[in-house]
Structure 1
Amino acid sequence: MSVETPNVLCISVDSFRRDFSSVYNDSENTTPFLKEFGEQSAVYNNAISPSCWTLQVHGSVFTGLYPPEHSVLDEGDVLGNHPTFAEILNEEGYNTQSFGHNGWLEAGGILRGFDHTSTEPVFNSKPEAILELLRQTRRGEPFASWILQRDNWTIENFSQSIGQTQSPFCHFIHLNGAHWPYAPQSPHYKQFTSKTLLGVNLNIIRQRSIYDKRGEMYVGDYKPSTGDLKTIKDLYRGCLRNIDQYVESIIEILKAEDVYDNTIIVIFGDHGDNFGEDNILGHQFSVADSLIRVPLIIHDPTDRIKNGVFSDIVQLNDLYETIIGLTGADSPDTNSIDIRTETRDTAYTYYSASTSFINKISEDIDRDRLPPKKQFVAWQSPDDKLIYYPDEEEYAGPGYDCDELQDSLMQHQRQLQRIKQQKSETLSDDIKENLEQMGYL
């Protein structure tokens, strides 16, 4: 294959919090491989996500549209007549495949254009799963570490496929092991906490109890103990260490198949997670920088994107225009940019709480006390950030009284190009079960 036709591999890491990564924080030892890999790549210090949860974010990444434009915001929404970058590259002769096990990615038509391989559990029944959990405990593994093992199966599927794939290819891998519940595999659960295996297992069980009280947290009626939150953070760090190894194994697969030198690799976190900050556990009802300012690393051996650390403001939805541009194809007009040739002064985030998630919150909670269900952001820096609550018509954030940011956000909303949705869909039982396990439904 000629150097003019590069391969593209996108790796999305769910719930990847920027300040917990060694790439961005020297005091963390969670992602040593990515730190070294970043030294040979473009690392973006100010990458902003267009939303703060998986469905809305990836809908934007694959289409270049902001969430109010693609309108795939909840269970049942389906992407309308707008091409994904996979569809465009498929038309250009690219082999387009995706791999992963997050139910939101199999909903709403956002993976349209990819031939998707869903990572199926190896257990055919609940008794088999329980037996495997007991085996893991005997081996000294946290009993729920099979959650990360599914990422390993995802990579095995990718490895089997890549050896049979004709170039050029554009593949997408989603790693879900840093998503709650945090259950790292051995030895990494030991790396960041002094708790015994029993203590780790008790915290993993405790996480479910705490998450069931997120509604009480949102309204300020409940706060987990400092000890529980510390252990949760430490187990999350262990999950990131596992993810780091998985990314390294993906790179090794590319090298073994002799395609590494002509493959542009894009690694990003779709959003972060909160660990009790502002009474938030997880990534709903908040647009804090811990959620929307995300890791973004692009490794380009074809030299279309230069190596270095960049402070330019970029958005994850800008990957749409950029990836299409890197391959030489044409893209439709969007409000995203090609980060190789354009710059932006302001980034924008549009969060809308899904009805399905709100319905999961206990009916005993006074819904009127919940944080605003819609939160829009104009972001120029951590100190120049405006948050707008459209339902309340109120402003917040460090830039709440900045006329420039207010005008910028209002102008951006006016230029959004909303596309018409297709008919709604009903989620399959498998997807619903997956989303229930992750705490969404």
Structure 2
Amino acid sequence: MKRRPNILVFFTDQQRADSCGCYGSPNGLTPFLDSLGEDGVVFDNAVSCQPVCGPARAVIQTGQFATRNGCYRNAIDLPADGQTLARRMKAAGYKTGYVGKWHLAGTGVEPVPEELRAGYEDYWIAADLLEFSSGPESGFVFDKQNRKREFEKYRVDAITDYAVETLRAHDPAEPLFLFVSYLEPHHQNNQNRYVAPEGYAQRYQDAWVPDDLVALDKPDADWRANLPDYYGCIRRLDENLERLVGVLKERGMYEDTIIVFTCDHGSHFRTRNGEYKRSCHEASVHIPLVFRGGQFRGGRHARQAVSLVDLAPTLLDLAGAAPAEEMDGRSFAAMAGQDIPGWDEAVLIQISESEVARALRTPRYKYCVTAPHKNPWLDACSDLYVEECLYDLQQDPWELNNLIADPACRQVKEELRALLLEKIAASGEETPVILPLER
């Protein structure tokens, strides 16, 4: 491995961690990813700190919480002048490239101008809202010169084609940071359903179903109708991951590349609220995160909790570049080989659009508070919250038993409340009041 490794981020959308074999799925959807995990590092407790598309992407590109970078909900442009991940990579001598779904420019189905690409200067084949510029089998993106690039094939395959094009255009002698962002397994918005490639959903009609979905099979839940297609999307993504790695090998870049597989958030299939994410629950916030390459070898499972806000500082660390001072996250690069002594595993989660809420995930508990008097589209935060959820993740990993009104949990709640307030203040917000639930 050379001093400055290539870094390839393979980024999916709305993918539950438990869809992957390396996170316990028995469905065989991700054999290639699992093989990377067996040779790399699987982060067992990776958490989305903002379980909705645009804000999660803003967190990754800035290393800041969504309320600090301003993109606390969808349809807010990423600030054009920030010290982003790509700009820091560029300053460190990297060629930077982006392929696929952007969701941070507010241009919809129009091209993303260069000043809104956050520093991805060298290679660009993307659409701001890929879910509207395309369907599962056809659509368009734009290249670096804002020329329309149309495709007539399964969207995952087309995005991979553009990533392959980028890899083949790159000089392997120069370090490359390439971010490949898929829409799948996200549902197709204008069809209000998940869409697998032809023939794939049929393979998973009788597949294993996570316990939370089975237990919460209420009338509005749609996992029975969608899970086979969801699984089919994930299988095709894994096949395309294998194809990209094949091109790295073909180009002589594989052993000089750190491959990162992750996503923005999960999916609870309308079991927790009226849509698929935007909740504090593990189905929404527990995400896959696998590194392979560089020091990430040997098949280790890193069990300390990490957050999406930590991803940018970690990638910069691996590139030999310093994170911007205003970044909120911390590098977890040292977890490649061992636990990090004193690592804080309490993760702050900010929730918007469905509700104005804040949650804390610790190794033992999930604690969530909401601001029902606030508008979840217009209000980024609140000065007042009330308790909503408390789950014991050790005793109740599927979060089926809400302990928030249990008198026996009073002390636990007090401790978590104090810690959550500290985390909220550290994220740059004014310290709010949290009212305990009294029943």
Class of the TM-score when normalised by the shorter of the 2 chains: 0.7 to 0.9
Shift of 1:81: 4.4
Structure 2 residue 234 is matched with structure 1 residue 223: no
Task: Report the TM-score, using the length of structure 2 for normalisation.
Answer: 0.73
CA distance in 2, matches of 1:105, 1:187: 35
Tell me if the contact between 1:387 and 1:396 (Cα under 8 Å) persists in the aligned partners. yes
Over 3 Å counting, the alpha-carbon distance change for 1:379 and 1:80 in structure 2 is farther
Task: Report the TM-score, using the length of structure 1 for normalisation.
Answer: 0.73
**Pairing 1:288-327 to 2, within 5 Å after superposition:** 288-300=281-293, 302-303=294-295, 307-327=299-319
- Number of corresponding residues: 352
CA distance in 2, matches of 1:180, 1:147: 19
Over 3 Å counting, the alpha-carbon distance change for 1:331 and 1:224 in structure 2 is closer
CA distance in 1, matches of 2:236, 2:323: 36
Shift of 1:177: 2.0
CA distance in 2, matches of 1:3, 1:376: 41
Structure 2 residue 248 is matched with structure 1 residue 254: yes
Tell me if the contact between 1:274 and 1:280 (Cα under 8 Å) persists in the aligned partners. no
Shift of 1:148: 7.5
Aligned to 1:360: none
2:10 aligned counterpart, secondary structure: strand
Over 3 Å counting, the alpha-carbon distance change for 1:191 and 1:102 in structure 2 is farther
1:81-113: per-residue Cα shift (whole Å, max 9, x none)? 431111011112110000003544776977401
Unaligned runs of 5+ in 1: 134-145, 195-221, 354-370, 419-441
Which deviates more, 103-112 or 290-299? Answer: 103-112
CA distance in 2, matches of 1:51, 1:309: 24
Over 3 Å counting, the alpha-carbon distance change for 1:335 and 1:104 in structure 2 is closer
Report the aligned-residue RMSD.
3.1
Aligned to 2:387: 395
1:219-249: per-residue Cα shift (whole Å, max 9, x none)? xxx9347xx6313111111111111111111
Over 3 Å counting, the alpha-carbon distance change for 1:103 and 1:323 in structure 2 is closer
**Pairing 1:159-308 to 2, within 5 Å after superposition:** 159-166=164-171, 167-181=174-188, 182-193=194-205, 223-224=219-220, 229-284=223-278, 286-300=279-293, 302-303=294-295, 307-308=299-300
Give 1 or 2: higher helix fraction: 1
CA distance in 2, matches of 1:184, 1:273: 16
CA distance in 2, matches of 1:279, 1:120: 26
Equivalent residue for 2:356, pick from 374, 377, 392: 374
CA distance in 2, matches of 1:297, 1:6: 17
Aligned to 1:438: none
Identity %: 20
CA distance in 1, matches of 2:90, 2:281: 36
CA distance in 1, matches of 2:296, 2:290: 14
Equivalent residue for 1:386, pick from 360, 364, 367: 367
Shift of 1:184: 0.9
Which deviates more, 67-76 or 43-52? Answer: 67-76
Shift of 1:71: 1.1
Unaligned runs of 5+ in 2: 139-150, 189-193, 207-217, 335-339, 374-384, 392-403, 405-409, 430-439
CA distance in 1, matches of 2:225, 2:426: 45
Q: Using CA pairs below 8 Å that are at least 6 residues apart, which structure has the higher relative contact order?
A: 1
Aligned to 2:422: 411
**Pairing 1:83-102 to 2, within 5 Å after superposition:** 83-102=83-102
Tell me if the contact between 2:75 and 2:106 (Cα under 8 Å) persists in the aligned partners. no
Shift of 1:280: 3.8
CA distance in 2, matches of 1:242, 1:22: 14
Letter of the structure 1 residue corresponding to residue 388 of structure 2: A
